[in-house]
Amino acid sequence: MLEKSHTEPGSADAIVLGAGIVGTSVALHLAKRGLSVVLVDQRGPGEETSYGNAGIVEGNTIFPHAFPKDLPALLRVALKRASGTNYHLDFLPRVAPWLLAFRRASSPEHLLDTARTMRPLFARAVAEHEALLAESGASHYLRKTGWLKLLRSDGGFASTAAERSVARDWGIEHRVLDVDEARALEPSLMPAFRHALHWTGAASLSNPLAVTRAYAARFQALGGRVLQADARTLQRVAGQWQVDGVRAPQAVVALGPWSLDLLKPLGLRFPLAIKRGYHMHYRFQGNATLQRPVVDVENGYCVAPMEQGFRLTTGAEFAARDARPTPVQLDRVLPAAKELFPLADKIDAAPWMGMRPCFADSRPIIGRAPGQSGLWLAFGHGHSGLTLGPVTGRLLGEMIAGETPFCDPAPYGPERFAA
């Protein structure tokens, strides 16, 4: 077991860098194990990418997002006619090696291997959120109504055959619905689709930002400290990790898309790419409503009911992390969205933009940093950061505290990127 230090005002057992859903969950799990923990971020908990997602806790997830399979789909992306994908032309040379690795990882064999590798985390995702929500007094944000995937064409539905087959084999609950059955679940949907999949084992959150803040408040109630500072100033001092005057023998990097800013000066390089995404909140017409998130699969967007309004979220944009926002995908998907949903006025003054840190093999890094004593890594969760935050917190908390991990952490270790 990890020895707890005799903490002084400027010392702790662990420093967690990054207060998104992943870092906050890690900090909470460490505090639950009796460690003195400082959670560091320039902004408040959950105010970056953890705020702007679709709110889905995807316990049903099998296959990750994949590279386009056929030439017509690839051409639509290349010609900027694909609603689910956008790119900045001047960024393509920088991201090309990652895209080639992503293409290799998108073969049927690799996708199935990734699904098996990630299943222990996804299988626990809903339960781990439920546990933290209950102890944080935030269970009212949880909806256990599943989510709907709508398919507009017979070909689109046929493309889900492998996913449905694996789901049956693995006992992952889902229902195939026709138009009338789907509209019985969601009467406000308009019948501009042919098929639907109801993933009944998934859950969703009506306010992801409030959930991350609730986890942070629970962390503080257990004695944890939240420090507003630049986590990227972490340095090694007298055999310990130090940031803004606080020292600890253990530090966790959970900075999402900013993780490499801290790690590169330490000699740690990982092939991370950033997928940017956007959202806009709308009102619905009249008394129309929605009970669960709904994805228009062939058009690459999701509409999710939130406390702030009905959130329209986009797919992926490949661009430099700090490049100016280009929310053209919202305009591309809006006509299709209005065919399905009774969207009315915009609520937001401007689109929101967030950044998903992704590895080409669709696995996060969870584990010890190579060659750096007491340094741990938890980033690269891609499209599933909200889903996997609490389960990552549990796994890394068990590893740092010297407990037996609930699953084998080796597939998520950084060693897989060793030259």
183 lies in the same domain as 261:
no
Tens digits of residue pLDDT in 171-223: 999 999 999 999 999 999 999 999 999 999 999 999 999 999 999 999 999 99
Whether the predicted pLDDT of 14 surpasses 90: yes
264 lies in the same domain as 155:
no
Last residue of a domain, one of 317, 333, 359: 359
Per DSSP bridges, beta strands 375-379 and 250-253 are parallel
- Helix, strand and coil in the chain, % to nearest 5: 40, 25, 35
Q: What is the pTM of this model?
A: 0.95
pLDDT band at 83 (very low <50, low <70, confident <90, very high): confident
Tens digits of residue pLDDT in 400-416: 999 999 999 999 999 99
CATH value at residue 53? 3.50.50.60
pLDDT band at 419 (very low <50, low <70, confident <90, very high): low
Question: Average pLDDT in the 107-127 region?
Answer: 97
How far apart CA 84 and CA 300 sit, in angstroms, is 4
**Average model confidence (pLDDT) for the chain?**
95
Last residue of a domain, one of 359, 385, 400: 359
Per DSSP bridges, beta strands 14-17 and 250-253 are parallel
Tokens coding 189? 């949907």
222 lies in the same domain as 121:
yes
Tokens coding 33? 């194990």
Query: H or E element: which one contains 386?
Result: helix 385-400
Whether the predicted pLDDT of 106 surpasses 50: yes
pLDDT at 320: 96
192 lies in the same domain as 331:
yes
Residue 409: half-sphere exposure toward Cβ, Cα within 13 Å: 25
317 lies in the same domain as 211:
no
206 lies in the same domain as 264:
yes
Whether the predicted pLDDT of 73 surpasses 90: no
How far apart CA 345 and CA 178 sit, in angstroms, is 30
280 lies in the same domain as 341:
yes
Range of the domain at 174: 68-104+147-200+272-359
178 lies in the same domain as 287:
yes
Evaluate the CA torsion angle 408, 381, 390, 204 in order and state its sign. Answer: negative
Higher pLDDT, 264 or 232: 264
